Structure 1
Amino acid sequence: MSDKKKAIIFIICSAFFFALMNMFVRMSGDLPSVQKSFFRNFVAFFFALIILIRSKEGFAFDKKNLPVFIARAGFGTLGILCNFYAVDHLLLSDASILNKLSPFFAIVCSYFILKEKIKPVQAAAVAIAFCGALLVVKPGFSVAGALIPSLIGVAGGFCAGIAYTYVRVLGQRGERGPFIVLFFSAFSCIVTLPFLIFDFHPMSAAQVITLLLAGLSAAGGQFTITAAYTHAPAREVSVFDYTQIVFAAGLGFFFFGQIPDLWSILGYIIISGVAVAMFLYNILPGKR
């Protein structure tokens, strides 16, 4: 099997794991997003810790990159909190597609952070993707109570886009993926721990198990997507990450009886379609 085929399998597995994570987060019930975030990152922290302990480099990193690590972790934490809030208050597929705006936000953020020029094709992709997002958010004719969670979902995608841009900065500076995951997970746990202590909501055994499963699913998603990008460039396989929308819609239907409306489905098609178009554009000769 070629590296590209392996990468495609890995990234589809990652999409499934992240859809599972959202399902377990929703299934865990009426708990604060901060509490859910803590458990999600607590599990990922130990996965990354084990990998680093077994590695030759250990926990080494360039201390000059500490501000970038903190920025990545801070925006990543905000992104997770917003995403979990959206998952709790929207259809799984709606919350997932709004979170998948992050690559388009990353294009904009790269202009300000990395000073990378935005090509006309990229600018058009961002504009069209936001038009698709409006169909999901439905401002002005939204279902009562869904507008605020939708906007928070968009904010989550924005924060994730900034976080991914800083991941790119760290990658360019030679920092290792497992340590980036470890720092982010540890930072998120430390930041959310005070809220967990002073506003802890008692959990049943079923809720604890469900959140641990969410954490395991998140860890599976993080490491399979890392494996995907070690086998093939992002431009060749990243589009397959949008299969998460299909998985989320299926899980939402079978476990929660959720059915997206026509406006949301049209928004999914537009955003995913733009992603496919960008994928095809990026693999054209001369675009590598």
Structure 2
Amino acid sequence: MRLTKNTQGALFMAASMAAFCCGDALSKTVIATMNAGEIIFIRGLFTSFFVYLLARKMGSLRSWKVILQPMIALRIACEAIAAATYITALGMMPIANAAAIQQAVPLAVTLGAMIFLKEPVGWRRWTAIGVGFMGVLIIIRPGPEGFTTAALLVIACMFATAARDLATRCIDKEVPSLMITFCTAISISVFGALCIVPFGGWQPVSTTSLMQILLASVLVLIGYQAVILAMRTGEISFVAPFRYLSLIWSALLGLIIFDEVPDSWSIFGAVIVIASGIYTFYRESKRRGVDPVAQESEPRVPA
């Protein structure tokens, strides 16, 4: 049976989210024996190697001086912060909760675009942003003592990721995406190395942990390729909501591997975040009158 373009795009997106979540789960399994700096460093080395081979094959390599462009440097800094905060938080909270909070990134991007890029945001999207962040608070549920460290780390990751996406919009389109990815992967690997001592020093790395990090790097790269294929194949309005399958994958992995069961409030908050994100995307698509054939999406760079 011949699949429609939309069905193909949806399958690519579902596969992409599965790959990302499995990569996060693998990182979570090793955070108990290694610090976040080690994981970022080793995973960055693997990622840099794979991206270099791909960029070389695609003819996307350019002078390393492109990293001196302010927006590329900002993107790298934001990606480094996002990687460090998210991996650290994974060792302190359920993977499904962390993934649910990250679903608010599109809302933060919309907010940042209004503040820094002066993009118009109507009252409907303002309302959706406010409701979405309320959903995040429901997931976190800060107590009398305030936010937990894990919650603050994931919130920092969310805003760092949004800032990274906004910086990506401002990068000269003449710079190939793979070159940006390669520079980011190398820089984040160096950042991870610098974090090893502050995060507790180098811990022995078992062969099993090394293989898990290697597999996580491969899965993340598969995820990025799949999301690009998804956004190029199907209609953007049909394919994009399948990003939220990451919540299902995260919940299943958390239950099977870590025996984590999301409570009813976390599920309720996640539903609010998802609904707000889908509505914000709908309003954005309607305002811009996007072409029914999706363009390439600029994905998150693996760290």
Q: What TM-score, normalized by structure 1, do the two folds share?
A: 0.89
- Mapped partners of 2:119, 2:80: distance in 1: 25
Post-superposition offset of 1:234? 4.8
1:76 aligned residue: 79
Counterpart CA distance in 1 for 2:161 and 2:114 is: 16
2:104 aligns with 101
User: Which stretch of the first structure deviates more once superposed, 198-207 or 178-187?
Assistant: 198-207
Deviates more, 1:227-236 or 1:67-76: 227-236
Paired with 2:119 and 2:64, the residues of 1 have a C-alpha distance of 25
Cα 1:191–1:55 change in 2 (3 A) is: same
Give, in angstroms, the shift of residue 285 of structure 1.
8.6
In the alignment, which of 221, 224, 232 is matched to residue 223 of structure 2? 221
Distance 1:7 1:166 in 2: 26
Conservation of the 8 A alpha-carbon contact between 2:101 and 2:270 = no
Q: Say which SS state the counterpart of residue 91 (structure 2) adopts.
A: helix
Who is 2:173 aligned against?
173
Do the aligned partners of 2:12 and 2:227 also contact (CA within 8 Å) in 1?
A: yes
Q: Specify which of 114, 117, 120 is matched with residue 117 of structure 1.
A: 120
Question: Does residue 48 of structure 2 align to residue 48 of structure 1?
Answer: no
1:109-147 Cα offsets, whole Å, 9 max, x none, are 2223322222222211211111000011111169xx982
Equivalent AA in structure 1 for residue 154 of structure 2: G
Q: Is the 8 A contact 1:61 1:175 kept in 2?
A: no
- Match in the other structure for 2:143: 140
Cα distance between partner residues in 2 of 1:53 and 1:251: 35
CA drift at 1:253: 0.4
- TM-superposed deviation, 1:238: 2.2
Residue 47 of structure 1, CA deviation: 2.1
CA displacement at 1:276 relative to structure 2: 2.5
Give yes or no for contact 1:97–1:268 (8 Å, CA) kept in 2: yes
Deviates more, 1:24-33 or 1:12-21: 24-33
Equivalences for residues 247-262 of structure 1 within 5 A: 247-262=249-264
Indicate how the Cα distance of structure 1 residues 27 and 57 shifts in structure 2: closer, same or farther if over 3 A, else same. Answer: closer
Q: Distance in 2 between matches of 1:138 and 1:209?
A: 36
- Aligned pair partner of 1:14 in 16, 27, 35: 16
**For the residues of structure 2 that align with 1:169 and 1:243, how far apart are their CA atoms?**
29
Question: AA paired with 2:218?
Answer: L
Q: CA deviation at 1:25?
A: 0.9
Over 3 Å counting, the alpha-carbon distance change for 1:249 and 1:55 in structure 2 is same
Task: Report the TM-score, using the length of structure 2 for normalisation.
Answer: 0.85
Paired residues in the alignment total: 285
Whole-angstrom distance in 1 between the partners of 2:144 and 2:29: 28
1:183-241: per-residue Cα shift (whole Å, max 9, x none)? 11111012222333782111221111112122222222222222323335655422211
Q: Which residue of 1 aligns with 2:295?
A: none
Stretch of structure 1 that moved more, 244-253 or 24-33: 24-33
**Aligned residues of 2:9 and 2:229 also touching (Cα < 8 A):** yes
Which residue matches 1:154?
A: 155
Counterpart residue identity of residue 150, structure 2: P
Tell me if structure 1 keeps the 8 A contact 2:90–2:98. yes
Structure 1 residue 95: Cα displacement: 0.8
The corresponding residue for 1:126 is 129
SS in 2 for 1:89: coil
Distance in 2 (CA, whole Å) between partners of 1:146 and 1:167 is 30
Deviation larger for 46-55 or 275-284: 275-284
Q: 1:36: how far off?
A: 1.4
Q: What CA RMSD, in Å, does the superposition of the two structures yield over aligned residues?
A: 2.5
- Does 2:225 correspond to 1:244? no
Match of 1:211 in 2: 213
In structure 1, distance between residues paired with 2:229 and 2:51: 14
Q: Shift in Å at residue 162 of structure 1?
A: 0.5
The residue type paired with residue 268 of structure 2 is L
Structure 2 unaligned segments of length 5 or more: list them: 291-303
1:33 is the counterpart of 2:36: yes
Aligned equivalent of 2:270: 268
Q: Is the 8 A contact 2:67 2:73 kept in 1?
A: no
